[in-house]
Chains A and B, each alone.
Chain A
Amino acid sequence: MYISKFSKQFSQLAARALGSQLKAPLTSAPRTSCAYLPRNHDFFPLQHGAFFSTTAANASEEGNEEKQKISVTFVDKDGEEQNIKVPLGTSMLEAAHENDIELEGACEGSLACSTCHVIVMDMEYYNKLEEPTDEENDMLDLAFGLTETSRLGCQVIAKPELDGIRLAIPAASRNMAVDGYKPKPH
Chain B
Amino acid sequence: MAIFRMLKCIQRSFSKVACNRIRICIVGSGPAGFYTAEKILKAHGGAEVDIIDRLPTPFGLVRSGVAPDHPETKIVTNQFSRVANDGRCSFFGNVLLGSSISLSELRAMYNAVVLAYGAESDRVLGIPGEGLAGIYSAREFVWWYNGHPDCSSLSPDLKSTDTAVILGQGNVALDVARVLLRPLEELATTDIACHALAALQESNIRKVYLVGRRGPAQAACTAKELREILGIKGLRIHIQEADLRISTEEEVELKSNRIRRRVYELLSKAATSSPNNLTSHQRDLHFVFFRRPDIFLESKDRSGHVAGVHFEKTIVKDTDSGMQMAVGTEQFEDLKCGLVLKSIGYKSIPVEGVPFEPHKGTVPNVGGRVLNDVKGDFIEFEKGLYVCGWLKRGPTGIIATNHHCAEETVANIIEDINEGVISSSISLPGREGLLQLLANKNVNVVPFSAWGKVDAEEKTRGSLKNKPREKLTTWKELLRVALG
Contacts and interface: CB of A to CB of B under 8 A. Distances in A.
Interface of A: 1, 3, 6, 10-11, 13-14, 16-18, 20-21, 24, 27-31, 33-38, 104, 106-108, 110-115, 134-135, 137-139, 141-142, 144, 146, 172-174, 176, 178-185
A111 B326 contact: no
A185 B319 contact: yes
Given A13-B14, A104-B403, A108-B75, A20 B412 contact: yes
Contact of A112 (B14, B72, B223): B72
Given A34-B378, A37-B377, A37-B379, A178 B411 contact: no
B366 interface: yes
B19 to A, nearest CB: 15
Interface stretch (B4-12, B197-205, B452-460): B4-12
A21 B416 CA distance: 12
A36 B75 contact: no
30 contacts: A13-B14, A14-B7, A14-B11, A16-B414, A17-B414, A17-B415, A29-B412, A31-B419, A31-B420, A33-B383, A34-B379, A35-B378, A36-B379, A106-B400, A106-B403, A107-B75, A113-B399, A135-B224, A137-B262, A139-B224, A141-B222, A142-B398, A144-B404, A173-B404, A176-B408, A178-B400, A178-B401, A179-B222, A180-B222, A180-B259
B471 interface: no
Nearest to B227: A138
Nearest to A1: B3
B421 A172 contact: no
A172 B39 CA distance: 13
Contact of A185 (B79, B222, B325): B325
Contacts of B6: 14, 18
Nearest to B76: A106
A interface: dominant SS: loop
B250 to A, nearest CB: 14
A110 B224 CA distance: 13
Counting chain B residues whose Cβ lies within 8 A of the other chain, the interface size class is 35 or more
A33 B378 CA distance: 10
Contacts of A3: 3, 7
Contact of B407 (A18, A111, A172, A179): A172
B197 to A, nearest CB: 23
Given A142-B259, A172-B404, A185-B326, 9 more contacts: A10-B14, A16-B414, A17-B415, A36-B377, A106-B400, A107-B75, A115-B403, A176-B405, A181-B396
Interface in B152-204: none
Given A10-B14, A106-B400, A174 B75 contact: no
A36 B376 CA distance: 9
